[in-house]
Amino acid sequence: MGQTADVSAVVWSAAVSLAAWLWLLLFQGWFWRTDVRLPASREPDERPDLWPDVCVVVPARDEAAVLPASLPSLLAQDYPGRAEIFLVDDGSSDGTGDLARELARRQGGLPLTVASPGEPPAGWTGKLWAVRHGMEAARARDPEYLLLTDADIAHAPDSLRRLVAAARTGGFDLVSQMARLRVESLWERLVVPAFVFFFAQLYPFRRVSRPGSRTAAAAGGCVLLRADAAARARIPDAVRHAVIDDVAVARAVKRSGGRVWLGLADGVDSVRPYPRLGDLWRMVSRSAYAQLRHSPLLLAGTVAGLALVYLVPPAAVAVGAAAGNAPCALLGGAAWLVMTGTYVPMLRYYRQPLWLAPLLPVTAFLYLLMTVDSAVQHRRGRGAAWKGRTYARPEAAADEP
């Protein structure tokens, strides 16, 4: 009797999971589609005076290992107008600033200025303090646009001109591309495409770009921002506490009346390697609990949601097969099939084998553990950590307009 009741509970859980996946498939902004790329745009003539001035701000802390693969791509941008790079060396101990100057001296290209802001004051995350310093330096050039990009991001030669053309044609105040992350090691293949898949599930790109939608997000590795929109939204001061700074910036822009576009990238790639599971674990766990606003209630809901949506389907298949319960196995299998189908486009975007798609529950279980670990680290007083700094303050205040 007890075993029958247990199987019945699994059957009902599988039915709810299937309903959840059907809802996600049809009503969550088509999050699983990967065709949201830079919108069609009209480029002006090659005359420099027809292109707006752009300043590129690159916060960098201990990035000597990746700069040789990323900075030359910025220096070599084929941009008809005036563009200049401001790399802000955020207290590096590995010679990041000196290496940047040497790379610029050897290659030439866009002008490069290297500056250092010193240690961030209380209430600021280090990266945003570096961004603020770079934006202050750029203000003297009076640019129309700012490109905020990370030190590990390599850009195709036409990246900047395509971003500017898309922003101008579409009338967007913020245009952001989700850089294609590296997928070479076994753990990168298993975890990285799922990271972007989960992000798109939380922030469907089509909703982000829809006028009137409250959904706002950006990908911090590549954000083109109108300078006047930044001033209107008080960026970066309004989001100075943020650990998840890209989402906070997009929210601030939208709340101030700006238009935001977010999509997947072609020609914007992260060169940062994550060869081991521990590297990826730290990437996710450093900010997962901050994403949940440091709320135990949201944490519990997230864990329950991940379990119901991602773990119940394969569990129902196994229980149904073991107990000879066809409805249990069929409901779990149907939910698992829909899950697998929604993941296939992301694997194709990352040029990965499709046999990884049915393994998404395994990856989701890893993310569940990473999220719990993020909360445990916060409870121990370590907070969100990055590049040797720990940020214990909740970032809810960062979302204030």
pLDDT tens, residue by residue, 347-378: 999 999 999 999 999 999 999 999 999 999 88
Mean pLDDT over 170-197 rounds to 96
* Residue bearing the bigger pLDDT, 44 or 181: 181
What pLDDT does residue 42 have?
Answer: 84
pLDDT of res. 292: 87
CB 250 within 8 A of CB 259: no
The pLDDT of residue 400 is 35
The share of the chain scoring above pLDDT 70, in percent, equals: 93
Q: Which residue has the higher pLDDT, 290 or 26?
A: 26
pLDDT digits (tens, 9 = 90+) for 269-282: 999 999 999 999 99
Q: What is the pLDDT of residue 4?
A: 67
Q: Which pLDDT score, from 0 to 100, does residue 203 have?
A: 96
Question: How sure is the predictor about 321, in pLDDT bands with cuts at 50, 70 and 90?
Answer: very high
Q: Is the pLDDT of residue 399 over 50?
A: no
The pLDDT of residue 172? 96
Of the chain, the percentage scoring pLDDT greater than 90 comes to 79
CA distance linking residue 183 with residue 169, whole number of Å: 33
The residue with greater pLDDT, 113 or 3, is 113
- Cα distances from 163 to residues 157, 180, 301, 306, 377, in angstroms, run 12, 16, 38, 35, 38
> How are beta strands 260-270 and 112-115 bridged, if at all?
unpaired
pLDDT at 394: 44
Strands (E), 168-308: 174-180, 222-226, 260-270
CA dihedral 228, 233, 235, 237 (to 10 degrees): 130
Average pLDDT, rounded, for the chain: 91
Weakest mean pLDDT among 82-96, 116-130, 285-299: 116-130
- Given a cut of 70, is residue 395 above it in pLDDT? no
Handedness of CA 126, 197, 192, 58 (dihedral sign): negative
Ranked by mean pLDDT, which of 56-70, 126-140, 207-221 comes out on top?
56-70
Q: Over range 316-333, report the average pLDDT.
A: 95
pTM of this prediction? Answer: 0.92
Whether pLDDT at 99 is above 70: yes
| Residue among 166, 199, 165, 161 at smallest CA distance from 181 | 199
